[in-house]
Amino acid sequence: MAGWDGTKLDWARRYAGWGWVCLPIRHGTKKAALSEWRHYQRQRPTDAELTKWFGDCSRHELAILCGDISGGLVVRDFDTHESYEAWKAAHPDEAERLPTARTGRGYHVYGTWPEAKSQELDDGELRATGNYVLAPPSRHPSGAEYQWVVTPTGPAPTVDPFRVFSARERNARRRGHTEDTRGQRPLVAAPGGTPKAGGMTPRTEAQSAESDHGDTPPTPSNGMRGLRDHLSSVCPLVSDDCKAAIERAIRFSLPAGPRERNKAVFTFCRALKAIPEVAGWEMGGLVPIVREWHRRAYPNITTKDFGATLADFCNGWPKVEVPLGVPFMDQILERARVAPVPVCANGLGEKIGLLARICAELQAANGGATFFLGCRGAGKLLGTGHDEANRLLRLMVQLKLIEIVTPGTRGRNGDATEYRILW
Query: Can you give the CATH number for the domain in which 121 is found?
Result: 3.30.720.160
Task: Give this prediction's pTM.
Answer: 0.46
Asked if residue 297 and residue 376 are part of one domain, the reply reads no
What count of Cα atoms within 13 Å lies in the side-chain half-sphere of residue 171? 13
Asked if residue 295 and residue 245 are part of one domain, the reply reads yes
* Contact by Cβ (8 Å): 246, 285: no
Residue ending a domain, among 164, 199, 216, is 164
Q: pLDDT-based confidence at 298, cuts 50/70/90?
A: confident
Asked if residue 44 and residue 82 are part of one domain, the reply reads yes
Asked if residue 310 and residue 336 are part of one domain, the reply reads no
Asked if residue 397 and residue 356 are part of one domain, the reply reads yes
* Contact by Cβ (8 Å): 376, 413: no
User: Which one is predicted more confidently, 4 or 278?
Assistant: 278
Q: In whole numbers, what is the pLDDT of the chain averaged over residues?
A: 78
Domain span at residue 102 reads: 8-164
What whole-number distance in Å separates Cα of residue 289 and Cα of residue 165? 26
Residue ending a domain, among 114, 129, 164, is 164
Residue 326: what pLDDT? 55
User: Is residue 173 a part of any domain in this protein?
Assistant: no
Asked if residue 306 and residue 187 are part of one domain, the reply reads yes
Residue ending a domain, among 295, 319, 343, is 319
pLDDT at 204 > cutoff 90: no
User: Is residue 172 a part of any domain in this protein?
Assistant: no
Q: pLDDT-based confidence at 158, cuts 50/70/90?
A: confident
What whole-number distance in Å separates Cα of residue 352 and Cα of residue 404? 17
**CA 350 to chain CA centroid, nearest Å:** 32
6 burial (CB, 10 Å; 0-12 / 13-18 / 19+) is exposed
Q: How many domains does the chain have?
A: 3
Mean pLDDT, residues 127-142 taken together: 92
What whole-number distance in Å separates Cα of residue 43 and Cα of residue 329? 9
Asked if residue 215 and residue 109 are part of one domain, the reply reads no
Asked if residue 214 and residue 148 are part of one domain, the reply reads no
Asked if residue 338 and residue 314 are part of one domain, the reply reads no
